[in-house]
Amino acid sequence: MNEKQMRKNRWQTTFFFIVIIIITYLSAAITNFHFIDSVKTIPKAFEWILSNLIVSMESLEKLPQILDKLGETVFMSIAATTLAAVVSLFLAIMGSKTTKVNNFFSAIARLIASFSRNIPVVAWSLILLISFGQNSLTGFLALFVGTVGFLTRAFIESVDEANQSSVEALTATGATYFHMISKAVLPQSLPQMLSWILFMIETNIRSATLVGILTGTGIGYMFDLYYKTMNYNLVALITLTIIITVILIELASNKIRRVIL
Amino acid sequence: MEMAKELNTALVKRKKNGKINIKSGNKIDKVVNWTIWILGILTILAFFFFDYTGLNLERAITGTFHNLKVMFLEPTLNHFSWGEAFYQVGITLGLGVLATILGAIIAFFLALMAAENLSKPWLSRSVRVVVALIRAVPTVLWVLIFAIAAGLGSEAAVLGMLFHSVAYLVKAFSESFEEIDPGIIEALRATGSKWWHIVVKGVLPSTFTYLLSWTFLRFEINFSVAVAMGAAAGAGGIGFELFMASGFYFDLREVGFITYAILIIAIILELVSTRLKNRYFPSSAQTV
């Protein structure tokens, strides 16, 4: 690297940082965000959390009800992820370069995935809420649709990564298309796909809380209810149960991932 | 002869009855199968635990298709103007930008503490534990909790979104730091450089592009998080308009318009981040 180039690089870096600062400033202006005020609120917020978000003995009485709703949320996210994975598998096989039937179906599969992934889960849950009403199926479907989009993209990548030569070898022996998929493509990409499914279950449990607040189901609804009635002891208990659940699921899936990958 | 016997026991796996095991007792396959079975059973069980109050499946499905048709084929604006729509999208993007940039700055320092080659083992481990705890609380809960202390508004939203951005970026950044050539650090250390010199002259130049790409990837996520926070935590922006249009005005045409606006921006962000991924992380595009 000669001196001229170094000077040019330095200019580029400076220019880049100026652009970033301008963008940040504009964002702060449009959203009415004050840096100093927000820094000041952090200690205040933690003080508030430490003095108010405490699990009290009487709030523990509600624990069975909370666990019931939490269970519903966990089941909702697992079911949404697993069923979405089945649909995504077909879409991914249709969409992948290695296994596509023809370009038309491949394009359709990618289009469906892109459409369902880029409309946020919030939009899906609000749209579904209008006609499905306030029950578990609304949240389930919202998570399902978002997960299909994400998993299809991930699965397409996994299938594309599968070794091309084993596909070729099987095709050369006269194997049918389905043999080729089930004996060459799937065994190679299955561990990777499973890892994605586990990742999506973790993500969906967190999103399920959000979807629950919007659609009035599961643990999200419980949280919203006690949050709005300012029963902060129960809010603390609900948050704590969510943390424990998410960490347990993360630990379990990390363990599985360590074996299969 | 004895050699051959030893070799034999080492190489050939036998079943309990002495037959040679043809399927190489693969632990991976076993775990994969078990996981799939368990997930399948839990999925079937899930439908028995759902709460189906007030559900009329037939009407719901036809209703949804009708709604989708109205939304996507006849989008219009009724309650606000085009200018207002751009302004609201701007607010959502602004929330995303602030959470991402502030998150990246904080995450940079925490990642230095979390990277095993730049920090002490106890420090690295404790940062990782704290990050895991932060990640376990959903973003919306962070925002709502901050809303009590800071009041509803952009401060609470940005601070709440900051937590997950920091957690995500600390993981990504510290992994990038750990991948750098140990020779660079060693060479600088040999010249007697201080820790801070190693970071500025060795670590930063060799990982800068990765850090930027990760930051942009997080911005893509933060945009949809900002939409969600607008809807669920009243943080303003296009998400809040979406919530009002669907929950208060029941105006499907406006919901359609807003959904299109979100969709267009999300697709643009996705295109940019896919290009970034292919350019900078061709092999590890999926480490999330």
B205-216 average pLDDT score: 86
Distance from CA of B11 to the nearest CA of A (A): 22
B216: CATH: 1.10.3720.10
User: Is residue B287 over pLDDT 60?
Assistant: no
B73 located within any domain: no
Residues B19, B104, single domain; the answer is no
Going by the DSSP 8-state scheme, the letter that residue A134 receives in this structure is S
Phi, psi of B203 (to 5 degrees): -75, -50
Alpha carbons A253 and A65: distance in angstroms, whole number: 27
For residue range B35-58, list pLDDT tens digits in order: 899 999 998 888 887 777 777 778
Q: Kindly list the residues from chain B whose CB atom is less than 8 angstroms away from the CB atom of residue A227.
A: 144
Q: Which residues of chain B have a CB within 8 Å of the CB of A196?
A: 286
pTM comes to 0.84
Number of H helices, E strands in chain A: 12, 0
CB contact under 8 A, B27 and A259: yes
Angle ∠(A30,A31,A36) on CA atoms, nearest 5:
110
**Which chain B residues in 181-240 lie under 8 Å from chain A, judged by CB atoms?**
224, 227-228, 231-232, 236-237, 239
Q: Which residue of A has its CA nearest to B57?
A: A132
Do A92 and A31 belong together in one domain? no
Q: Are residues A88 and A70 in the same domain?
A: yes
| Same-domain check for residues B11 and B91 | no
The stretch B114-118 carries a mean pLDDT of 87
Counted domains in chain B: 2
Q: For residue B130, what are the CA distances in angstroms to A132, B54, B79, B101, B233?
A: 39, 42, 44, 21, 25
Percent of chain A with pLDDT over 70: 99
Inside any domain, residue B75: no
Q: Which two tokens stand for residue B157?
A: 């939203």
Q: What is the number of structural domains in chain A?
A: 2
Task: Check whether A129 has a pLDDT greater than 60.
Answer: yes
Q: Please give the structure tokens belonging to residue A260.
A: 């299969």
Q: Which residues of chain B does A140 touch, with a Cβ-Cβ cutoff of 8 Å?
A: 50
Tell me the C-alpha distance between A131 and A142, whole Å: 13
Prediction ipTM score: 0.83
- Domain range for A30 is 3-52
For residue B275, the model assigns a pLDDT of 84
Contact B32 A190 (CB under 8 A): yes
The two three-digit tokens of residue B119, written as one number: 């920090």
Nearest to A122 among B228, B252, B286 (CB): B228
Across the interface, whether the CB atoms of A123 and B227 are under 8 A apart is answered yes
Range of the domain at B223: 84-287
pLDDT class of B24 with cuts at 50, 70, 90:
low
Residues B154 and B231 both lie in one domain? yes
pLDDT in tens, A180-215: 888 888 888 888 899 999 999 988 988 888 888 888
B103 — pLDDT class (breaks 50, 70, 90) = very high
Placement of tokens 């299109």 in the chain: B260
Per DSSP, A181 falls in state I
What whole-number distance in Å separates Cα of residue B241 and Cα of residue B237? Answer: 7
Q: Could you tell me the pLDDT band of residue A86, with boundaries at 50, 70 and 90?
A: very high
B32 neighbourhood in chain A, CB within 8 Å: 190-191, 194, 260
pLDDT (tens digit per residue) in A246-257: 899 989 988 888
The pLDDT value given to residue A121: 86
Is the pLDDT reported for residue B286 higher than 80? no
Pairwise CB contact (< 8 Å): B224 & A214 = no
B72, part of any domain: no
Mean pLDDT, range B227-231, rounded to an integer? 87
pLDDT score for B170: 93
DSSP 3-state of B20 = strand
Task: Express each pLDDT in A142-161 by its tens digit.
Answer: 999 989 999 998 998 888 88
Least confident segment among A63-67, B145-149, B197-201? B145-149
- Tell whether B249 and B188 lie within a shared domain: yes
Q: Calculate the average pLDDT of chain B.
A: 83
Using CB atoms, pick whichever of A31, A75, A82 lies closest to residue B98.
Answer: A31
* H or E element that contains B73: helix B57-73
Does residue B76 belong to any structural domain of this protein?
no
Tell me the pLDDT band of B155, cut-offs 50, 70 and 90: confident
Chain B residues with beta carbon closer than 8 angstroms to that of A5? none
- pLDDT, position B244: 87
